[in-house]
Structure 1
Amino acid sequence: MPLVRIERRTRLSAEEAWRRLTAWERHARHVPLTRITVLTAPPTRVGTRFTARTGVGRAGFDDPMEVVRWEPPSAGRPGRFRVEKRGRVVLGWAEAEVTPAGEGARVVWREEARLRGAPRLLDAPTAWAARLLFGRVVAGLLDSWMIDSKGSAGK
């Protein structure tokens, strides 16, 4: 799937936006039929693992992920994280950058996910659906504190 990029501006501080984006279990509130279980003890750091389970009952799949980059915002510096998807069904990564911006913050979310064995023919519709889904997740996590938004997909 082509890279999906979501950009949002929020009135939240960079630290609060970061806290909300990295509350892994809360992501499931914005993804239909999904629950997230964090498998490692807090706090989040490189090596933290969690699994998103999507489906109903036994019909579904697991999307195991691991944090491979963890740099919270501090002293006016942007925060960055990267999560790698390590499942049998979903492969890829997600990363975010949270930058202080005026009275709030700018959030840039990038994601590249693909279904194992899916043909390239599905890249365009998958990217379209991913922009909608990830845009919904980021907006939901930041709540009503958004100022404006941009979403794009590209190589």
Structure 2
Amino acid sequence: MANILLERTVPLPLDEAWRRITLWPRHGEVVPWTAVRVVPPGPTRVGTVVVARSGAGALAFDDAMEVTVWQPPEDGAPGMCRLEKRGRVVLGWAELEVRPGPGGRTRVVWREEIRIRLLPSFFDGVLRPSARYVFGRALNRLLRRP
């Protein structure tokens, strides 16, 4: 399993940073060859399943993630979401957190443990930097776009 940690400090209110990183279809807009759908459609809550379909043609696969923790920020308190990856290809979990940062800014933290089914841990040395690059780029784009 490859563990990654991404941290950003942004000049956004907590609620806006949260909104930008938890509008799931937007993730598909910032990750190449990926489309995202939410089951059931509607507001996210514990039990919501976020499905990222990645790839092209016969090589596409679904990365299903179930929301197991959903605590939006409230009254200046931090917010946190945990997704358990339960797809046929991608396993692990992801946690997205927003909390007050220095100077009225917001600190965004993305933690992820990712494993590709049938891929030996020997490949974690390649998976880790690849995941950091893809998810880091996605996080930057999500936070920049209103």
Which category describes the TM-score, using the shorter chain as reference length? over 0.9
Question: Is the counterpart of residue 107 in structure 1 residue 87 in structure 2?
Answer: no
TM-score normalised according to structure 1 size: 0.89
| Paired-residue identity, % | 51
**Aligned residue in 2 for 1:20:** 20
Q: From the two aligned structures, give the one with the greater strand fraction.
A: 1
Q: From the two aligned structures, give the one with the greater helix fraction.
A: 2
Q: How many residues align?
A: 145
2:5 and 2:110 in contact (8 A); partners too = yes
Deviation at 1:28, TM superposition (A): 1.0
Q: Tell me whether 34-43 or 106-115 shows the greater mean CA deviation.
A: 34-43
Q: What is the alpha-carbon distance in structure 2 between the residues aligned to residue 69 and residue 90 of structure 1? A: 19
Q: 1 or 2 for the larger relative contact order (CA 8 Å, sep ≥6)?
A: 1
Q: Give unmatched runs, 5+ long, in structure 1.
A: 146-155
1:85-108 CA-partner distances (Å, limit 9, x unpaired):
101111011001100223220001
Q: Give the letter aligned to residue 120 of structure 1.
A: S
Q: Give unmatched runs, 5+ long, in structure 2.
A: none
Q: Tell me whether 19-28 or 51-60 shows the greater mean CA deviation.
A: 51-60
Q: What is the alpha-carbon distance in structure 1 between the residues aligned to residue 64 and residue 98 of structure 2? A: 24
Deviation at 1:122, TM superposition (A): 0.4
2:63 and 2:85 in contact (8 A); partners too = yes
Deviation at 1:55, TM superposition (A): 1.3
TM-score normalised according to structure 2 size: 0.94
Q: Give the letter aligned to residue 62 of structure 2.
A: D
